[in-house]
Amino acid sequence: MEFSEKQVQIMEAAEKLFAAKGFDGTSVRDIADTAGVNLAMISYYFGSKEKLMENMFAYRSDFFKLQLETMIRNKELPPLQKIEALIDQYVDRLMKEQCFHRIIVREQMVNYTGPISGMIQELKKQNQELIKQLILEGQKKGDFKKGIDIPFLMMTLIGTISQVITTQHYYREINGLHSMPDPDFQKLIKKKTGHHLKSIFKAILTHEV
C-alpha cells in the first residue's frame, strides 16, 4: 500500500500519541496538532481515527510481511539460517519501531474486542503462518524436530524482545552501562537479544540438547 508523505507524517504523529496515551485517550485534534496539519486533512486522508489506525497497521506491517515472504522463497539459505535471519529482522524491527510495539502491547492489555483487537489478531495470524512455513520446511528436510509448538515459539520471540524493550533502562543501570552513549547501547542490546534468541530457537527446533 502506497502512502503520501503527508499521510506518513500524520500516521507517525498518531503512532507516538497512541503509544503514550492509548487509542481511546488520543483525540483527532491531538493528532492534527502533533502532525502540524488541520483537522480536515485527517478526515480527508483517513476518514476516521479508526481508519487512521488501520492504515498505520498496514504501513508498519506490509513491508515486514514482504521481507518474510522474500526470505521464505530464498532457496539458497538452509532453514536454520532463515530462522536466524528472521530473529534478526524481528529484533531490528521491534527495536526500531518501539512506539508501534507499545501500541500493540497496550491495546492487548486493555482491549479484547473491537477493530484494534481484530487488527492485532490478524497481524499475529499472518506472521505466525509465515513462520509456520519456515518450520515445516525445516521439518521436511529433517533439520527440525516434529511437534514444535509454534504459538509458544512466537510468544518466546515477541515476549523476549518486548521485555528487553520495556526494561532496557534497568539492564543499563544494573550492568553499569548508564554512561554508554545510547546508539552504542542499542547496538549492544540488539546483538545480545539476537544471540540469546538464536540459542533458544536452535535448542527448541533442532535435535541438539
Residue 122 inside a domain? The answer is yes
Length of the chain, in residues: 209
In sequence order, the 6+-apart residues with CB closer than 8 A to the CB of 100 are 15, 19, 56, 60
The amino acid occupying position 203 is: A
Q: Is residue 184 part of a domain?
A: yes
Q: Output helix, strand, coil percentages for the chain, rounded to the nearest 5.
A: 80, 0, 20
Answer yes or no: is 4 within a domain: no
Contact 153, 204 (CB under 8 A): yes
C-alpha cell at 128: 505466525
- Residue position matching grid coordinates 502506497: 2
Is 171 domain-assigned? yes
Query: Tens digit of pLDDT for each residue in 92-119?
Result: 988 888 888 788 777 777 666 666 777 7
pLDDT of 124: 82
Residue 155 in any domain: the answer is: yes
Total domains present in the chain: 1
In a domain? residue 1: no
Q: Supply the range of the domain harboring residue 103.
A: 56-205
The domain that contains 69 carries what CATH number?
1.10.357.10
Summarised one tens digit per residue, pLDDT across range 41-83 is 999 999 999 899 889 888 887 777 777 788 778 888 899 999 9
pLDDT over threshold 60, residue 209? no
Q: Is residue 91 part of a domain?
A: yes
- 159 falls within a domain: yes
